[in-house]
């Protein structure tokens, strides 16, 4: 059984993946807080992404990495820098030093949040981060490309929409991914032969999707769940508009409109 380090294992995505991956790997769970409910096939590994010595120690004897750790929402620059940018670098560098090549990186839809909801984008489109958080995910993807090209790493980037048992609102009908579909993408990232560098979208089979996930399908992804199964119930409860024109128009939602400063010259040209 392979030993897999899962950073950020105490978070929501980590909890789902622990259930879905149970019995497939030995999961070495790390987080800033101690995880005390380890079951069979799990162990807690002390690690802090901001501490390169601890991170390297946590990778001893590991065969692959699921990198969920970091600041998981928008935050101030200091928090994002230390947890998501310096932390990601520390992890990739420790993996290089320990000879751990296979890394699954939890990127985010917020790396692309400034695209219009009427556009269908794919893995080749230029990143347009909607926040400091989204920017850190673009950095993480580029960091992975560097380590693939220069050091021979093998990286799968998953631009996760929203992982939950079910979508809870109209926006999530476009971006939702079920736990078992996310687990399928993670397993692909850990086990696909000849993997070099890939970017895929973390979504289930969503009729209302803003993303073309052909690259994931090319690699063998076969999502089992559909957001449309919940659409009638959700749309009966809400129209899908927040009353925030920018958040309602662009893919990143409120991540886009928070702190947004309109450009009068650009607005005049668009009239």
pLDDT of residue 127: 98
Residues 6+ apart with CB under 8 A from 110: 129, 130, 131, 133, 134, 137, 252, 255
pLDDT of residue 5: 98
**Residues marked as catalytic:** 133
| Phi–psi pair at 77, nearest 5 degrees | -60, -40
pLDDT value at 269 more than 50: no
125, two tokens: 């489109």
pLDDT value at 271 more than 50: no
Burial of 230 (0-12, 13-18, 19+ CB in 10 A): middle
CATH architecture of the domain 3-270 equals: 3-Layer(aba) Sandwich (3.40)
pLDDT value at 223 more than 70: yes
pLDDT tens digit sequence for 25-39: 999 999 988 999 999
Average confidence (pLDDT) over 235-264: 87
Burial of 199 (0-12, 13-18, 19+ CB in 10 A): buried
In angstroms, rounded to a whole number, what is the distance separating the alpha carbons of residues 168 and 230? 9
270, two tokens: 């668009």
pLDDT of residue 265: 56
pLDDT tens digit sequence for 81-127: 999 999 999 999 999 999 999 999 999 999 999 999 999 999 999 99
């Amino acid at each position: 059984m392979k030993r897999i380090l899962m950073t950020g294992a105490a978070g929501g995505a980590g909890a789902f993946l622990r259930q879905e991956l149970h019995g497939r790997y030995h999961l070495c769970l790390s987080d800033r807080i101690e995880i005390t409910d380890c079951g069979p096939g799990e162990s807690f590994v002390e690690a802090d992404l901001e501490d390169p010595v601890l991170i390297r120690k946590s990778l001893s004897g590991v065969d692959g990495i699921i990198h969920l750790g970091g600041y998981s929402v928008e935050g101030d620059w200091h928090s994002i820098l230390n947890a998501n940018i310096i932390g990601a670098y520390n992890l990739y560098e420790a993996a290089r030093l320990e000879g751990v090549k296979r890394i699954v990186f939890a990127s985010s839809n917020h790396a692309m949040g400034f695209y219009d909801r009427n556009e269908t984008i794919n893995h080749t489109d230029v990143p347009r981060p909607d926040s400091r958080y989204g920017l850190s995910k673009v950095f993480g993807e580029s960091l992975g490309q560097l380590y693939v090209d220069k050091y021979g790493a093998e990286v799968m980037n998953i631009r996760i929409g929203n992982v939950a048992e079910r979508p809870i609102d109209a926006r999530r009908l476009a971006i939702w991914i079920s736990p078992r579909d996310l687990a399928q993408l993670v397993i692909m990232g850990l086990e696909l032969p000849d993997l070099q560098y890939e970017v895929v979208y973390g979504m289930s089979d969503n009729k209302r999707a803003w993303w073309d996930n052909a690259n994931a399908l090319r690699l063998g992804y076969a999502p089992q769940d559909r957001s449309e199964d919940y659409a009638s119930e959700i749309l009966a409860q809400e129209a899908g508009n927040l009353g925030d024109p920018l958040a309602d128009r662009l893919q990143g939602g409120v991540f886009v409109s928070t702190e947004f400063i309109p450009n009068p010259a650009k607005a005049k040209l668009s009239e």
